[in-house]
């Protein structure tokens, strides 16, 4: 049975591992377009991280990633816990709501990206149309085209895509706690018909 794994190992080695390792090795050389120059060691890394031209862009991108990571942790876990609590209360149609919360997780990232691109379209997007219908025309804007709102819009779309997974994890934890506490109560309750 182990021979069944060999094709996937060969495929991963050729198309994932080898390109990553070769790209890492290329980073230690000087490049003039497509022509590889001499070995320069860590000079390229120093230029990217501390050079006058690249460093501001790289560190700005790094800070955006840190901000997105923190925001996604708060929004996904906080939203997931809140949704799990609502589902734990078993509102009307809670089985449908469980499925509806988890469906975005199983959708392709390409589909989710295209869907949110349509939602956030400045001309006919659902978000701006809702703002127009509520009389909040001043709040409508090109969400992905404005540097002050683009990162927040991407965080919102990503959080919507993956909030279903922590929701189900928290819901399972809440149900497990309920199950344990009901078992404990059943074991400690006096038996019916005892003196």
Q: Could you tell me which of 118, 117, 98 has the C-alpha nearest to residue 164? A: 98
Beta bridge partners of 32: 35
Tens digit of each residue's pLDDT (9 = 90 or more) over 6-40:
999 999 999 999 999 999 999 999 888 888 888 98
Tens digit of each residue's pLDDT (9 = 90 or more) over 70-129:
999 999 999 999 999 988 888 787 788 888 888 888 888 898 889 999 998 888 888 889
Average pLDDT in the 153-170 region? 91
Beta bridge partners of 36: 31
- pLDDT exceeds cutoff 70 at 193: no
- pLDDT exceeds cutoff 60 at 192: no
Cα(26)–Cα(156) distance, rounded to whole angstroms?
A: 36
Q: Mean of the per-residue pLDDT values for the chain?
A: 87
pTM of the model: 0.70
Contacts (Cβ under 8 Å, ≥6 apart) of 112: 104, 157, 160, 161
Q: Which pLDDT score, from 0 to 100, does residue 159 have?
A: 92
């Amino acid at each position: 049975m182990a021979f069944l794994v060999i094709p996937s190992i060969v495929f991963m080695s050729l198309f994932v591992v080898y390109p990553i390792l070769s790209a890492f090795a290329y980073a230690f050389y000087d490049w003039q377009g497509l022509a590889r120059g001499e070995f320069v060691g860590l000079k390229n890394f120093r230029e990217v991280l501390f050079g006058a031209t690249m460093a501001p862009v790289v560190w700005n991108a790094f800070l955006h990633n840190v901000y997105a990571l923190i925001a996604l942790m708060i929004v996904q876990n906080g939203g997931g816990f809140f949704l799990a609590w609502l589902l734990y209360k078993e509102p009307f149609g809670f089985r449908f709501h469980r499925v509806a919360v988890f469906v975005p997780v199983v959708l392709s990232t390409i589909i989710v990206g295209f869907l949110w691109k349509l939602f956030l379209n400045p001309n006919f997007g659902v978000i701006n149309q809702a703002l127009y219908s509520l009389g909040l025309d001043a709040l409508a804007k090109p969400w992905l085209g404005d540097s002050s709102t683009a990162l927040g819009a991407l965080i919102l779309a990503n959080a919507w895509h993956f909030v279903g997974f922590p929701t189900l994890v928290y819901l399972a934890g809440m149900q497990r706690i309920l199950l344990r506490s009901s078992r404990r109560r059943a074991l400690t309750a006096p038996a019916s018909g005892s003196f």
